[in-house]
Structure 1
């Protein structure tokens, strides 16, 4: 019996075998038909910092890194280096032509950049090489256009790095990619049909392509072009590297597509990507010029070419004040004089900037590493202070320290009413009615700001802390050190509601100090909302004149208010102000959309545009005698004179074709003045012939040249009068009108 019992070990082996067979069968069911052309290819790598767009004309240097940092500026569109998100997992596309490649990290990245609910869009196309043959297995990536701006610089480098990493994650989460099929065709699905996409393509066999702003539903062709690496080193004749320069290249068969790339490299090495072929390559250095141009054949494996600049000069030193204190942030600008001597072995281009600039570090040090020997004009500047002199530079390095009278140095200490230090204070220096631009130095303690480079004299210092009010301190600054302690007063706010004259459209509330200069900033004004409410501040506590301003220029109401610390509530009930609700129609009775309505009230003029219903509103107008007109294209309304009453009134205007002209100007001593014409008169007949518009009157005046006297039929305040004027003349201005 013992022999007939199953062995425990055999049973275990049998169970493992059955489980393995089940797993194998299950994996076969999940595997798509056909080979995976993109499996384990070098291009399937994570999105790296190289995928980030570079900032124009900006170089970033990382401590400990000797690799070149470049900023490409070419006439062609930006090239894509073929980078993409992490290892793909193939999934059959809806059309069965190309397997979709998805990022395995996309699930976690959805929290960073949520997908749009609209994923019905798709982009199709084909990838071909330079010979026109379809390219199988090319990686095509779609990324939303106009969404690649990098985060702004942050004072904390760790925070800036974290924001850049999040930015990379967002880009990775937003992009979609596929591999081209056997026929080179591809379809990228799951896109937002409402936006456009940038496409890039890269192939293992070599070559890249890129298209910008492709709309969903389009069918495109991506033509791969090969690129290779051009590298080398730029140095002085003594072997020391040049760290700032620009690489230029020009392919012989593409003379209209020159390329250049700005390089910042601590060891003088550079690497740029170019198309294979015969190229002309050269280097330019600001303040020096261009190197001799080299002709080189660049193959698919790339090429290396180095440049050496001989006969260069260098200049370094320290900028300090008259007491030998270093001047951080001072600038040194060199401008070559006309009679400078060019080195024999260096070719100079007039297009290269002749003026070069260096900024001093915290120890006042400056340095120019590459200059052409010769005579220079040197300008040392700090804030509004500057000094100029000349210097002669020979081959090799020249040490030259400069001294600058830095003028007034101002240390401002900001304190709250309780004596606490206040940080984040904005400061403006005003002198003789204009703002000065001193150099701000790093703060040495909380609540302190230091400025230097100011001309001694009388100043008005305006300052503002977040949550506080603009304040002003008048003072006289002397040469050397100046110390001021400025109080940051607790702020005042005023809020309330305006009532009494209809909807306050376009109404502005403004605070003007009873004594002193009105501050021209938004804190002392507020737009009154359509429900009549307002809130203005922060302002300094004190006595103010509160003004209501209509049409951005006419003061329609004033009152005196006293503001204390904190909120002051002041409701405003206006009297003797009116609001007009207007409706304007065309001759056929339809609404006059876009018609312009003008109301003349005393010496003030108000205007408004009609909406699509032909409606317009003119609010907060002083009650009194007024005139109202409207116009739209060739149509005009009759001028309506009436007494405007306080409160809200409705008014309708009907536009008609012009049947006269209105006098808008009478030249003193001219023929119109002699005839007795007045501004506002309506001329409807000239020498017995009807005047319907300006063109008619111009023609009749021209026809009457040589006649001693002609008649004018005039409507003046609904009373018809006849005047006489010399033929062929006028002496004034007029416009189309309706009577």
Structure 2
């Protein structure tokens, strides 16, 4: 039930003759309004929206109601009291300015909303090369400065309600129909930028609109127009209905190419045949992915105009199993292992493979890979992060057929270290360790640089190094209060444990200076050592904060600084943060 000016309420499971209490929620306030136009011409059909007026650039719509009143009058019902912005959408008209109202109850006063005759932009979008209509393409309208045009809605949007933006700074648009036609209505007359994007091909034009209809046909270069034919070897099996077709531009060795996640605008789709447009001409590696099939790829040089590519999808195989250590110990935690399936001629294991290589993110070592194209394959267990920091820990040749396969892998420990970081009392503390190869016999291109971390109360467990040799270990504490001197060790194959002692910090090294801060004004530089603040030693960021808070607002704040072995003092001006990043070190 509802009652004007009071609210709404409801009750469930009520039968005739029952007595039931109904609690009323405040709301339902009527607002009477009138559209006005200096020429006297008014729309016979329009929509009134009520947006939240308590915020700038309101987008939350509290009410949207359509009316068919040739005299432009309306009575809108709002769900609550408060401030609202009223907006009108009508074919052939635009609202001259926003109208803000404050509603605290039903009123007999009439709110006037000024409107005026609008511009309408319509036309046909076609391909520049053959004048073929382009369906399903968004035609965007922007203001002359590149921002969103203040326009109304097309007729279809008026029937379905307001649309959400589909492109940044373009609130209103039209989508071409099957014949490439578009229409944007309710536009305020003026000069705008008309933008069209087909895949990765774009076109911008300037258009000046006056009240009434303006016709503007658009012809755009759609680049490569690609038909992808997809078949399967099984008789009677339909090809996939919705595959993912992607393309990677093949660049020069010293010029990495971008990766297109999916082919852009799909103009046509039928079982086994798909058509894409808007692809810049060039040499690509084109891939097709579909559920239940192995990924199919081929290299192709795409030219402007028609191109045809054909793929035959093969039934896929999947490989799963468990990786364990031959000595029964745990898997390395830093860096994590990868398991990958590669073609025999693919030796570039230092490059990531998204479909057939995965991290062993679980301590149990299980993995599952696929879909994979059947055939002769190389299974590798890879350790490391990227580039020269990746090395093969295991390699075997397998022949995979369609279906699921299980393959367990055992690897030797290699060079494994369990590192503990301890303070001056011998207590394990959370921290991290920088590890770098210093063996003079190791080529610079093969030198290892890595990091390992530990949490509260635990050691840095099971670090794996690429090979025996000499390494430098530099420990750090998480709280930056302490660090340790680098140590160099000769590491041999097998599992080993070691502890690295930290020493207390006695000053703070400046790692960054905020522009415009007190520190910048005082001339503090990165690399300076902060010794004391008003005589209090600075050994951690917390110590700097606490010393600063103990200084009264009217008292001076004097920093003692060491720069390149020479000490001096500076006085900080102002209050609040000093404006430096620091870490604890020993002087």
Is TM more than 0.5 here?
Answer: yes
What is the CA–CA distance in structure 1 between the aligned matches of 2:208 and 2:56, rounded to whole Å? 40
Please say if 1:564 is aligned against 2:388: no
Aligned-partner Cα distance in 2 for 1:81–1:630: 67
For residues 479-526 of structure 1, give each alpha carbon's deviation from its aligned partner in whole angstroms, at most 9, with x where no partner exists.
443332212223343444242363222222244545467785532212
- The normalised TM-score by structure 2 is 0.63
Measure the CA separation in 2 of the matches of 1:639 and 1:290.
71
What CA distance in whole angstroms lies between the structure 2 residues aligned with 1:400 and 1:435?
34
Q: 1:532 to 1:643 in 2, by over 3 A?
A: farther
Cα displacement (A) at 1:395: 2.5
| CA deviation vs aligned residue, 1:414-436 (integer Å, no higher than 9, x gap) | 22232641233111133352245
Tell me if structure 2 keeps the 8 A contact 1:383–1:454: yes
| Unmatched segments (≥5 aa) in structure 2 | 146-168, 252-256, 439-446, 509-538, 541-558, 569-582
Paired residues of 2:95 and 2:114 also in contact (CA < 8 A) = no
Tell me the distance in 2 between the aligned counterparts of 1:249 and 1:659.
57
Contact 1:583–1:614 (CA<8 Å) still a contact in 2?
Answer: yes
State whether structure 2 residue 550 is matched by structure 1 residue 550. no
* Aligned: 1:319 with 2:125: yes
Over 3 Å counting, the alpha-carbon distance change for 1:287 and 1:608 in structure 2 is: farther
Q: Using the alignment, how far apart are the partners of 1:276 and 1:379 within structure 2?
A: 41
Q: Report which stretch shifted further, 278-287 or 405-414.
A: 278-287
How big is the shift at 1:604?
Answer: 1.8
| Number of residues of Structure 1 aligned to a counterpart in Structure 2 | 457
Q: Return the alpha-carbon distance in structure 2 between the equivalents of residues 247 and 659 of structure 1.
A: 63
Corresponding residue for residue 468 of structure 2: 623
Q: CA deviation at 1:314?
A: 1.5
Question: Counterpart of 1:406?
Answer: 222
- State which of 233, 240, 243 in structure 1 corresponds to 2:43: 240
State the 1:571 CA deviation.
Answer: 4.5
Aligned to 2:135: 328
Deviation string 1:598-628 (CA, Å, 9 cap, x unpaired) is 4444532343333333322133323333344
Whether the aligned pair in 1 keeps the contact of 2:470 and 2:491 (CA below 8 Å) is: yes
- 1:220-369, aligned counterparts within 5 Å? 227-230=28-31, 232=33, 238-240=41-43, 247=50, 261=61, 263=64, 265=66, 271=76, 273=78, 283=88, 290-291=95-96, 300-301=105-106, 305=111, 307=113, 309-321=115-127, 323-335=130-142, 356-369=172-185
Q: Measured at CA, do residues 278 and 270 of structure 1 come closer, stay the same or move farther in structure 2, by a change above 3 Å?
A: same
Aligned residue for 1:527? 359
**Residue 596 (1) aligns with residue 432 (2):** yes
2:89/2:95 contact within 8 Å kept: yes
Q: Distance in 1 between matches of 2:14 and 2:368?
A: 56
Matches of 2:144 and 2:428 in 1, distance apart?
70
Q: Which has the higher helix share?
A: 1
Shift of the 328–573 alpha-carbon distance from structure 1 to 2, 3 Å rule, reads same
Partner of 2:523: none
Tell me how far apart the structure 2 counterparts of residues 289 and 449 of structure 1 sit (CA, whole Å). Answer: 41
Mapped to 2, the partners of 1:630 and 1:653 lie a distance apart of 7
Q: Secondary structure at the match of 1:472?
A: strand
Contact persistence 2:433–2:452 (CA under 8 A): yes
- Corresponding position of 1:499: 325
- Contact residue 124 and residue 217 of structure 2 kept, 8 A: yes
Q: Give, in angstroms, the shift of residue 358 of structure 1.
A: 1.8
Q: 1:249 to 1:614 in 2, by over 3 A?
A: closer
Of structures 1 and 2, the one scoring higher in RCO (CA 8 A, sep 6+) is: 2
Q: d(CA) in 1 for partners of 2:181 and 2:100?
A: 40
CA distance in 2, matches of 1:256, 1:478: 48
Q: Structure 2: how far apart are the matches of 1:284 and 1:605? A: 63
Task: Evaluate the alpha carbon distance shift between residue 230 and residue 334 of structure 1 in structure 2; reply closer, same or farther with a 3 A threshold.
Answer: same
Assess, with a 3 A threshold, how the Cα gap between structure 1 residues 384 and 272 changes in structure 2: closer, same or farther: farther
Aligned to 1:439: 265
Instruction: Identify which of 218, 223, 234 aligns with 1:418.
Output: 234
Query: C-alpha separation between the residues in 2 aligned to 1:620 and 1:255?
Result: 56
After superposition, what is the alpha-carbon deviation per residue over 1:63-106, rounded to whole angstroms, capped at 9, x for unaligned?
xxxxxxxxxxxxxxxxx9756662479xxxxxxxxx9x9xxxxx
Partner in structure 2 of residue 651 of structure 1 = 498
Asked whether the equivalents of residues 94 and 115 of structure 2 are also in contact (C-alpha less than 8 Å), the reply is: no
Residue number in structure 1 paired with 2:566: 702
Alignment match, 2:278: 453
* RMSD over equivalenced CA pairs, Å: 4.9
Secondary structure of the corresponding residue to residue 315 of structure 2: coil
SS at match of 2:355: helix
Q: Relative to 1, partners in 2 of residues 1:551 and 1:515: Cα closer, same or farther, differing over 3 Å?
A: closer
Under a length normalisation based on structure 1, what TM-score does the superposition of the two structures give? 0.51
Rg larger for: 1
- Structure 1 alignment gaps of length 5 or more: 1-40, 44-79, 90-98, 102-136, 140-201, 209-226, 339-352, 662-692, 705-733
Structure 2 counterparts to residues 99-110 of structure 1, below 5 A: none
Q: Helix, strand or coil: the match of 1:523?
A: coil
Cα separation, partners in 2 of 1:407 and 1:702, compared to 1, 3 Å: closer
CA contact (8 A) 2:243 2:290 kept: yes
* Structure 1 CA distance for aligned equivalents of residues 586 and 455 of structure 2: 23
Contact kept, 8 Å, 1:336 with 1:354, in 2: the verdict is no
